[in-house]
Chains A and B, each alone.
Chain A
Amino acid sequence: MTVKVEVIEGGIPHNKIMIAGIVSTLVCLYLTYLNVLTSTEMFSFFGGLAVIAALIWGSHTIKVLCSYGIGTGVPSAGMIAFGSGVIAMLLATKFGFYAPIVAAVLAAIIGFILGYVSNNILNMKIPAMVQALTEMAVVGALSLMGFAALITGGFTFAGLTTGHVTVMGMTLLTHEQSFLGGCLIAVAFLLGAIAIQHPFNACLGPGWTQDRMLMLTAECGFLSMLVAAIMSFALISTGSALISLIIAIIGWAYTYNEYMVLSKRDAAAWLDAKPIPEVEGH
Chain B
Amino acid sequence: MEHIVFGIGITALTGALATVAGSAEDTESNIGSQGDPNSQVQLAPQMGFLHRIFNKAVAGEPPAYGLWCALGAGLAWAFMAMQFNAVLAIVLGSVLAVFVQGVYATTAYVGRTASLSKFGQPVYVDILKSMTTVTMAHAFIAIFATVALCQLINGALGHPFPLPLLGLVWGIALGAAGSATGNPYYGKERQYQNQKFGAGVPISASGNIVRYAEAGERNSLDNGWFTTKIGGSAAGVCFGLIVFLELWRTVLFEQVAAGWGAIVVGVLMILVFTVIDRYIEVWARKNYGPYTEAKEASS
Contacts and interface: CB of A to CB of B under 8 A. Distances in A.
Contacts of B211: 276
Contacts of A201: 57-59, 108
A232 B81 CA distance: 11
B123 interface: yes
Contacts, number: 192
B280 interface: no
Contacts of B82: 233-234
B205 interface: no
A259 interface: yes
Interface stretch (B48-56, B136-144, B188-196): B48-56
Contacts of A191: 67, 71
B118 interface: yes
B114 A230 contact: no
B96 interface: yes
B74 interface: yes
Interface of B: 42, 48-52, 57-60, 63-64, 66-67, 70-71, 73-75, 77-79, 81-82, 96-97, 100, 103-104, 107-108, 110-126, 161-165, 167-168, 211, 217, 299
A268 B124 CA distance: 11
Interface string A157-188: 00000000100000000001100011110110
A204 B125 contact: no
Contact of B115 (A176, A205, A277): A205
A232 B75 CA distance: 9
Contacts of B103: 219, 223, 256
A249 to B, nearest CB: 12
Contacts of B107: 198, 202, 216, 219-220, 256, 259
A68 B215 CA distance: 42
The 3 closest A-B pairs by CB, nearest first: A205-B115, A187-B74, A202-B111
A264 B256 CA distance: 63
Contacts of A264: 114, 123
A274 interface: yes
A274 B60 contact: no
Interface residues of A, number: 63
A182 B48 contact: no
Given A190-B66, A201-B59, A235-B81, 19 more contacts: A78-B59, A79-B63, A176-B162, A183-B161, A184-B77, A186-B70, A187-B164, A205-B115, A206-B119, A207-B116, A216-B111, A223-B100, A227-B96, A267-B110, A268-B122, A270-B125, A271-B124, A279-B48, A281-B48
B115 A184 contact: no
13 contacts: A165-B81, A182-B77, A186-B168, A187-B71, A201-B58, A223-B104, A231-B77, A259-B110, A267-B123, A268-B118, A270-B122, A279-B120, A281-B48
A93 to B, nearest CB: 19
Nearest to A197: B59
A263 B164 contact: no
A184 B124 contact: no
